[in-house]
Amino acid sequence: MGISQNGGRGRFLVKTAALAMAAWLGASAVVARAEDSWDAVYLAGSRVGYVHTYIEKVKDRGRDLLRVRVDMVLTYKRLNDQVTTKMQYGTIEAPDGSVLRLDTRIVASDQEMRVHGDVVNGKMNLTFDGTGQRQQQTIDWPADVRGPYAAEQSLSRQAIKPGEKRTLKMYMPDLNKVCDITLTAKANEDVRLGGGITRTLLRVEQTTRLDGKARPEFDVTLWVDSGGQVLK
């Protein structure tokens, strides 16, 4: 499965409503403008869905925070049926990217699974809701743990150079665990994007490890421009 934006990935400013954010953070929360991007998802060459990512600057009781949300919608055939799966990853973060709160939801076959929690004293207290049951789990959460958008945030905040390697700690919603990811910048390549556009982009390999063991099923190849924006 590949993710790429039709015609390249551009970030632009949009006005957003403050009501939902205020309800989440408290009545004092104020939402500013948001960074917003759309990407198309392809499976075997066919478009099967999209990813919508946006980052809102908010204030809560005078504190500057960020709300990061990634919505993914996939529609594909399973045997004779058409199936739509919706995934929503959300975090409340400090400006440096440290996560204060997370909320992830997966909706499939009219069933919703939700995992949400808050960081307290270096621990993430997770609550699992779904299928009429509620479970709770506490996991270690050091200050350097980032949310599901960690790689893109790191690359956009500071462009990576060929030959450079970075390590990050990232929460993986698929596993409900914190994994170690490594970003390794390779060389520039001519890459074909949506709309028939070809761009020269830097290839970045993202590898994943959990508890010291490689998890290649979560490895990703990213192509980024000179400003650190992921275009494919």
Greater model confidence, 167 or 113: 167
**Confidence band (pLDDT; 50, 70, 90) for 196?**
confident
Report the percent of the chain where pLDDT is more than 90: 49
- Residue 95's domain comprises 2-224
In a domain, residue 55? The reply is: yes
Does residue 204 surpass a pLDDT of 70?
yes
CA 87/CA 127 separation, integer angstroms: 17
In a domain, residue 142? The reply is: yes
Number of domains in the chain: 1
- The full 3-state SS of the chain, as one line of letters, equals CEEECCCCCCCEEECCCCHHHHHHHCCCCEEEEEEEEEEEEEECCEEEEEEEEEEEEEEECCEEEEEEEEEEEEEEEECCEEEEEEEEEEEEECCCCCEEEEEEEEEECCEEEEEEEEEECCEEEEEEEECCEEEEEEEECCCCEECCCHHHHHHHHCCCCCCCEEEEEEEECCCCEEEEEEEEEEEEEEEECHHHCEEEEEEEEEEEEECCEECHHHCEEEEECCCCCECC
In a domain, residue 229? The reply is: no
In a domain, residue 168? The reply is: yes
In a domain, residue 231? The reply is: no
- Of 17, 25, 21, 91, nearest in space to 61 by CA: 25
Q: Is 128 exposed, middle or buried (0-12, 13-18, 19+ CB in 10 A)?
A: middle
Q: What is the pLDDT of residues 73-89, one digit of tens each?
A: 999 887 788 888 999 98
Question: Given this model, what pLDDT does residue 109 score?
Answer: 73
In a domain, residue 232? The reply is: no
Ranges 18-22, 26-30, 69-73, 76-80, most confident: 69-73
Question: Given this model, what pLDDT does residue 8 score?
Answer: 36
Q: What is the pLDDT of residues 135-170, one digit of tens each?
A: 999 999 999 999 888 898 899 889 999 999 999 999
**Confidence band (pLDDT; 50, 70, 90) for 34?**
low
Mean pLDDT of the residues in the chain: 82
Does residue 43 surpass a pLDDT of 90?
no
User: What would the mean pLDDT of 5-30 be, rounded to a whole number?
Assistant: 32
In a domain, residue 172? The reply is: yes
- Of 182, 166, 150, nearest in space to 55 by CA: 150
User: What would the mean pLDDT of 123-145 be, rounded to a whole number?
Assistant: 90
Q: What is the pLDDT of residues 59-75, one digit of tens each?
A: 888 899 999 898 999 99
In a domain, residue 195? The reply is: yes
- Reported pTM: 0.76
Q: How many residues does the chain have?
A: 232
